[in-house]
Amino acid sequence: MEDNQPQEKPVTQMETQSPVMEKILPAIHIKMDNQKQVTSGTTQDKATCNRCGIISSKEFSFFYGNTCGVKNISMDIYPCMVTAIIGPSGCGKSTFLRSINRMNDLIPHTRAKGRLEVNGINVYDKRTNLVNLRQQVGMVFQKPNPFAKSIFDNVAYGPRLQGIRKKSDLESLVEQCLKDAAIWDEVKDNLNKSALALSGGQQQRLCIARALATRPKLLLMDEPCSALDPLATTRIEDLIEQLKKFYTIVIVTHNMQQAARVSEWTAFFCLGELIEYDKTTRLFTKPGKKQTEDYITGRFG
Amino acid sequence: MKIGYRQAFDKTFTITAGLSVFLMVMALVIILGPMLSRGSKAVFFRGTVEFRKMQLAIFNHGSSDQVQAETARVEKAREPVYELLENFQIGIDVELLTDKTREIYRELGQQLRQMDVDRETYAAIRAKAKDIRDTLSDILESTDKDYVNQGIEVILKLSDDPDFKNTVAEQFFPLARMYGENVKNIDLTQRDQYIAALEEVKDALRKLFGPLPGESTPPMPKDRYGATRWDTAQQSLHQLLWAQAWVETKPGESLEKISVRRDDPQKGQFAGTSLEPLFSLVENNLDDMLQPEFTIYWRYFLDDWVNSHYFGGVGSEIIGTLLLTLLSMMFAVPLGVISAAYLVECADENMVVKIIRTCVNTLAGVPSIVFGLFGLAFFVLFLFPRLNMPSKPCILSAALTLSILVLPVIIRASEEAIKSVPQTYKEASLSLGAGRFRTFVTVTLPAALPGILTGIILSLGRAAGETAPILFTGAVAMGPQPKSLFDGVKTLSYSSLDIATGDRLAMMAPHKQYGVIMTLIILVLCLNILAIIIRWRVAKKLRGY
Ligand SMILES: Nc1ncnc2c1ncn2[C@@H]1O[C@H](COP(=O)(O)OP(=O)(O)OP(=O)(O)O)[C@@H](O)[C@H]1O
Ligand SMILES: [Mg+2]
């Protein structure tokens, strides 16, 4: 808990002063960088602390009608870390991820059980302010889903929602986010082109840029690289590497190497259940469960 | 073998599909083509000098100098016709002649009294004049030609009588002489038929050239002008030239109706009479008498009508239709889109929503007259009085009724459109921290706009073309343009009903009847094209290329 204190602070500041923060963003960037460096130095061992996750789920289950998407998930996801979720197709990775910012609400006849907390707020509480929650928790979806608007408007959508109207601010912010998402060079000449006219991979990177533009504390990425070429994948991985200095990232991936490369922690899901959750190095070298071993060595099924 | 079958099936399918599309287009062409081609005659036609006179007098269009010059020219051309008519009329119109003789006799009495002649001469002249009058009256009534000729001879013998010198009585003799001339070629037993036929001829002439010389200006604008169009002129010419006659073609069989030229040398009504040359004169010189010119009467779409659509255009109807349609869309579109949004976005899929949806679908199939009666009962009779508004049919109640009529269409189309917006769009917006309303307005609605516009296009055409719903709720056949929401409105749809069924005068101008329909079709087409262009642009913007 003590470890967590200095860690939480800058994040809270960032949240409360959000509009101001946005206007002096580059400065904050650097400032936050420093802070993060300081804090990351002091929290060397926070991974060992099991009770200080920014996301913590306890016995969390999610149902589509009567079928079970995920059941009895208990895990903590630690701040400023990359957590990878791996598992065979249909095992509930997306379901769990989408539960974190309550994206599954749109699907009728769904139901959640257990407890899921983000930053200490119970997500599935009736009184939870969904707008606040979702501004803190950005998401990149499995399928690219840009709006049928121009590239600029796509990225500026989130900041505009937060009340940033000034053209120059928006422009610098959009540029920054597009650069972060490694797509700036491809689109910088026609920011007014419709986003739907981009290729699938470009669209995906645009969606990443769009998610970054709201400056979330937490970034959920559902197979962000599934539609990308190796080069773009590398750039996204680099981006993740950079971002984890001040974002918490949860990434779903089918690519074992990727999980090993970018993540500090890895969770293995199978048939809606959390089989194993451990430090990536440990999970990939000395898996605790037979199922995990089978899966990562490719003997699954 | 199998592949052969499959290819054959494929081909059959292609051909069938193509054929059905072709059939549909053909049906459209067959239905719309004649209407449009007939209606276009209201705009494209050969206008005569009468048309230009009318345009100048009623609408103040055209140059008055030119029209005056033209009028002078055609009047000169028409002069011989009227002369022939006049002369013949004197010979045939016995009542007129009898009246004239009586008048001459009476005037003679007055003249004599003023001339201060002594009583005896007065009595003698009077007696002689009375003789002449009676003889004239006799021969005018007689149908025996010999008797008539004898009588005329007797009268003409008296023409040298010095007693009549310088008196009104002298007028007896030219009259008698002319009558004698006329009578020579006339079968006196059929004089009544001549009079009837002459009336027909005069009627036809009036239709061709307007009121005859000396007649007072008729009260109805339509009677003040002759044939304004070359095609109506041809009809009137036919009426002038041809008479209907019942003849016995074969003995013992029933009579047959045939057309005979009035100046036909054998059977013609006026064969051998002094009127005979009139017909060929008019026939051969109609061009000069009417001066037809090809006219594009584009003001048809701007002018107000006159005399129940007999003259003028449909300008006021077009404006009324547009007003009404736009007003009803202003009610229906927001309401429909919001309802659709509620049904899709907010309401859970429960019993109530299902019932509402069924109701909406049912409403779409309700006959439009039911909406009309509902509008009358609810808006005009129930709602307006309670809101302290005038309880009479008006543009507001008509627009409200129409909007209820098109509401189901808009709701259904919008619902489908909103439903078809990919869930991922909404997810993207929500995940960026937008509220539901914000998401709907900034993401869902723009993406659904092409579909919603389709619904609006469908309902635009419907609202502009429906007659039954506005029949009792605000449409009027005539009257000024609406100045407030509480005035009646003239619309193309109601007008086409009115002039097709209710209006005697419009029946005489079929091109105007079709013209209204054509205008309605064109208007709906234009509205649709406009909406389609907007839709296309929106879709293009969404697509991004
Ligand atoms: N919209 C839905 N409605 C009903 N059931 C669903 C829905 N989405 C997912 N499920 C069910 O929940 C289970 C988990 O699905 P989920 O999408 O989380 O799998 P996943 O791990 O993301 O798979 P993938 O790697 O293929 O994306 C699946 O078995 C599926 O049947
Ligand atoms: Mg998935």
Write the pLDDT tens digit of every residue in A66-87. Answer: 899 999 999 999 888 899 999 9
How far apart are the C-alpha atoms of B1 and B9, rounded to whole Å?
12
Q: Assign A26 a pLDDT band (cuts: 50, 70, 90).
A: very low
Per the domain annotation, does A275 fall within a domain?
Answer: yes
> 3-state class of A137 per DSSP?
strand
| Residue A95 located in a structural domain | yes
Q: In Å, how far is A300's CA from the nearest CA of chain B? A: 31
Residue A36 in this model has a pLDDT that exceeds 60: no
Q: Could you tell me if residue A1 is inside a domain?
A: no
Pairing label, strands A110-118, A121-122: antiparallel
Q: What is the mean pLDDT of residues A264-284?
A: 91
Mutation pick from A152, A193, A194 vs chain B, by most beta carbons of B within 10 Å, is A194
**Could you give the residue ranges of the DSSP H alpha helices within chain A?**
4-16, 18-23, 25-42, 93-100, 130-136, 151-161, 167-180, 184-187, 200-213, 230-243, 256-262, 280-285, 290-296
Q: How far is CA A152 from the centre of its chain?
A: 22
Whether domain B315-542 has CATH 3.40.50.300: no
What pLDDT, on the 0 to 100 scale, is given for residue A37?
Answer: 38
User: Phi/psi at A70 (nearest 5 deg)?
Assistant: -135, 150
**pLDDT, greater one: A97 or B185:** A97
Pocket lining: A64 vs ligand 1, CB cutoff 6 Å = yes
Nearest alpha-carbon partner for B155 in B167, B171, B166: B171
Task: Give Cβ neighbours of residue A181 (< 8 Å, ≥ 6 apart).
Answer: A205, A206, A208, A209, A212, A236, A239
Strands (E), B6-95: 44-47
Give the N- to C-terminal CA distance of chain A in Å, as an integer.
Answer: 41
Evaluate whether B442 touches B367 at the Cβ level (below 8 Å). Answer: no
* In-domain check, residue A281: yes
Angstrom CA distances, A262 to A244, A258, A286, B19, B373, stand at 10, 6, 18, 61, 72
Helix residue ranges per DSSP H, B342-394? 351-365, 368-375, 384-386
CB A268 within 8 A of CB A210: no
How far apart (Å, rounded) are the C-alpha atoms in residues A101 and A118? Answer: 9
CB B258 within 8 A of CB B40: no
Which of B429, B431, B445 has the most A C-beta neighbours within 10 Å, making it the best mutation to test the interface with A?
B431
Q: Is residue A109 part of a domain?
A: yes
Return d(Cα B346, Cα B440) in angstroms, integer.
11
Q: Is the ipTM of this complex over 0.85?
A: no
CB atoms within 10 A of CB B63: 10
Q: How far is CA A128 from CA A70, A122, A133, B99, in A?
A: 22, 7, 8, 108
Mean pLDDT of A172-183: 89
> What's the domain range around A121?
33-296
Give the model's pLDDT for residue B321: 92
On whether residue A60 sits in a domain, the answer given is: yes
Neighbours of ion ligand 2 (CB under 5 A): A 94, 142
What domain count does chain A have? 1
CA-to-CA distance for B169 and B172, rounded, in angstroms? 6
pLDDT of residue B121: 81
**Cβ of residue A85 lying under 6 Å from some atom of ligand 1:** no
Q: Which two tokens stand for residue A153?
A: 């408007």
Q: Kindly give, in sequence order, each residue whose CB lies less than 8 Å from that of residue B92, ignoring residues fewer than 6 positions away.
A: B182, B186, B191, B194, B195, B198
| pLDDT band, very low/low/confident/very high, at A35 (cuts 50, 70, 90) | very low
Cβ atoms of A208 and A236 within 8 Å: the answer is: yes
Mean pLDDT, rounded, for A9-31: 38
CB contact under 8 A, A103 and B427: yes
Chain A residues with CB under 8 Å of B433 CB are 131-132, 134-135, 158, 161-162, 214
**Are the CB atoms for B193 and B168 separated by under 8 Å?**
no
Per-residue pLDDT reduced to its tens digit, A48-63: 444 467 888 899 999 9
Instruction: List the single residue in B349, B422, B438 with the smallest CB-CB distance to A108.
Output: B349
The DSSP call for residue A142 is S
pLDDT over 90 percentage in chain A? 30
Q: How far is the CA of A276 from the centre of ligand 2 (A)?
A: 18
Domain assignment present for A220: yes
Domain range list for chain B: 3-42, 49-61+198-299, 79-185, 315-542
- Taking the C-alpha atoms of residue B222 and residue B305, their distance in angstroms, rounded to an integer, is 12
Whether A268 is in a domain gets the answer yes
Shortest distance between the Cα of B537 and any Cα of chain A, in A, equals 13
> In which element (H, E) is residue A73 found?
strand A67-77
**Which phi and psi angles does A245 have, rounded to 5°?**
-65, -35
Per-residue model confidence (pLDDT) at position A50: 42
User: Is A19 near ligand 1, meaning CB less than 6 Å away?
Assistant: no
Query: Is A211 an 8 Å CB contact of chain B?
Result: yes
Give the CATH number of the domain where residue A145 resides: 3.40.50.300
Q: What is the share, in percent, of chain A residues with pLDDT greater than 70?
A: 82
Q: Which of B381, B380, B398 is nearest to B482 (CA)?
A: B398
Range B420-442 burial, b when 16+ CB lie within 10 A, else e: ebeebbbbbbbbbbbeeebbbeb
Assign A68 to helix, strand or coil. strand
Mark yes or no for CB contact A145/B424 under 8 Å. Answer: yes
What's residue A30's pLDDT? 36
Q: Ligand 1 in contact with A111 (CB < 6 A)?
A: no
- Atom 19 of ligand 1 has which residue's CA nearest to it? A90
Residues of chain B with pLDDT under 50: none
- 3-state helix, strand and coil shares in percent for chain A, rounded to the nearest 5: 45, 20, 30
CA distance B442 to chain A (A): 9
* pLDDT value of position B539: 84
Q: Give this prediction's pTM.
A: 0.76
Nearest beta carbon to residue B430 from set A132, A134, A197: A134
For chain A, the average pLDDT equals: 80
Chain B contact probe: residue of A150, A154, A157 with most B CBs at under 10 A: A157
pLDDT at A52: 65
Looking at residue B165, its pLDDT comes to: 76
Pairing of the two strands A137-140 and A82-86: unpaired
